[in-house]
Amino acid sequence: MRKKNTFSPFLILTLILITSALLSIAVGSVFIPLPTLWEVVTSALRGTATALDADGVYLKILGDLRLPRMLMLTLVGAALAGSGGAYQGLFRNPLADPFLIGVSSGAGLGAVLAMLARSPHTQSGLLSVPLAAFCGAMLTVLIVTLLARVGRTVPTTNLILAGVAVSSFASAVTSALMIHSTGELRRALVWLMGGAIMTGWSPVLAVLPFMLIALTGLVLIGHPLNVLQFGEEQALQLGIRVQRARWVTIALATLATAAAVAFAGIIGFVGLVVPHIIRLLWGSDYRRLIPLSMLGGASLLLLTDMAARSLIAPQEIPVGIITALLGAPFFLWVLKLSKAQNYW
């Protein structure tokens, strides 16, 4: 929270995000060079055909596949990193991540249940897995918070412990279900490793309202989170309605995470590491940390997804594996580089 220059971090990260987004729609099993990309997009916008894309294949790849995937990844990355930053601030715990209070295990259980139901491959059938995952995540967090409640307050320790216990239980149920469902095992496993990014426009449209509410809300709660860094008692003495701030933060971060997980599977590491990188580079004022984390998280996910699609093309590696493979060394490099002793 020391750096004064608030302009440049936003500028830098926005440029990185734009670059990542462009790369993300250019790179894939079919590489579309940037000039061609420009030509195809502008001519499509003008409503004319271009010689570079006579049969309209590029336009189809861009419009039907890469553009919605890019938007989905941007939203998911922003949601995971933004809610990770919020959870770390709320629990004042550097190890807090978006999955801390049961979002991932609940979503996993919901998703596996939906897969076992073998929903038909219609549009609504395809959306049943993300919707079940979303409901599972929200339900689990609700159960965790109700269990952790003491009177009208929810002590942090209780919340984390209840989260761990309920998560273990839900994960055990998920594993048990998977043992008895040989055919669906692979699909569920891929989902749990973050390899289930939904493509096409209808998932993007389905997730958009949740994301807009959650991301906007998370950007706006930076100040109460700053005050909460002094502990709950001091925050109350400084005039913050601590319980309300806490509920709002949990609700927003859970909404963002559940929406992300539902449409992309469980992608670890982004929510844990991106806020720390931002903190190391630009300090821990939550009013900046959260929006900057969102920009960084979106970029990281776009870049890792590109790697996931191209490393052993045409096969796809679940992006969750790549985020950890690339994210961990990068984080350690930043940690080493900064030499910060008291950045947390």
Partner 1 sequence: MLEVNTISAGYNHKPILENISLQLAEGSVLALIGPNGSGKTTFIRAISGVLPLRAGSVKVAGQDINSISPQQRARIIAVVPQARSFPAAFSAEEVVALGRTPYLNWLGKVIVNDMVIIEDALEKMDLLALRSRAVSELSGGEQQRLFLARALAQGSPLLLMDEPTTHLDLQYQVSLMQRIHQLAHPSKEELKNGMQPKTVVIAIHDLNLISRYADRVGLLVGGRLAALGKPEEVINADLLSSAYNLPLEVIHERGFTLVMPSHPPERIN
Interface contacts to partner 1, rule CB under 8 A: 1-2, 220-224, 226-227, 229-231, 233-234, 236-242, 279, 283-285, 287, 341-344
Question: Please, which residue, 109 or 221, has the CB nearer to partner 1?
Answer: 221
Question: Please, which residue, 236 or 335, has the CB nearer to partner 1?
Answer: 236
Place of tokens 């990770």: 84
Question: Please, which residue, 91 or 263, has the CB nearer to partner 1?
Answer: 91
CB of 75 to partner 1, least distance (A): 23
Q: Which two tokens stand for residue 324?
A: 């950890």
CB of 92 to partner 1, least distance (A): 8
CB of 226 to partner 1, least distance (A): 6
* Closest CA relative to residue 108, chosen from 80, 140, 145, 82: 140
CB of 4 to partner 1, least distance (A): 8
Question: Please, which residue, 181 or 229, has the CB nearer to partner 1?
Answer: 229
CB of 128 to partner 1, least distance (A): 37
Q: Cα–Cα distance between 297 and 82 in angstroms, integer?
A: 8
Cα dihedral sign for 48, 198, 143, 250?
negative
CB of 317 to partner 1, least distance (A): 36
Centroid of chain to Cα 138: 15
- 153: phi then psi, degrees, rounded to nearest 5: -115, 160
What residues form DSSP beta bridges with 150?
Answer: 153
Q: What is residue 150's DSSP assignment?
A: B
CB of 249 to partner 1, least distance (A): 12
Count of C-beta atoms within a 10 Å radius of residue 279: 24
Say if residues 277 and 292 touch (Cβ distance below 8 Å): no
Cα dihedral sign for 69, 72, 78, 81?
negative
Question: Please, which residue, 140 or 249, has the CB nearer to partner 1?
Answer: 249
Question: Please, which residue, 27 or 86, has the CB nearer to partner 1?
Answer: 86
Question: Please, which residue, 215 or 317, has the CB nearer to partner 1?
Answer: 215
In three-state secondary structure terms, 153 is: strand
CB of 323 to partner 1, least distance (A): 26
Q: Please give the single-letter amino acid code of residue 171.
A: S
- 137: phi then psi, degrees, rounded to nearest 5: -65, -50
Count of C-beta atoms within a 10 Å radius of residue 39: 17
Question: Please, which residue, 5 or 182, has the CB nearer to partner 1?
Answer: 5
Question: Please, which residue, 169 or 343, has the CB nearer to partner 1?
Answer: 343
CB of 233 to partner 1, least distance (A): 5
Q: Cα–Cα distance between 228 and 156 in angstroms, integer?
A: 12
Place of tokens 């294949």: 57
Q: Cα–Cα distance between 10 and 299 in angstroms, integer?
A: 13
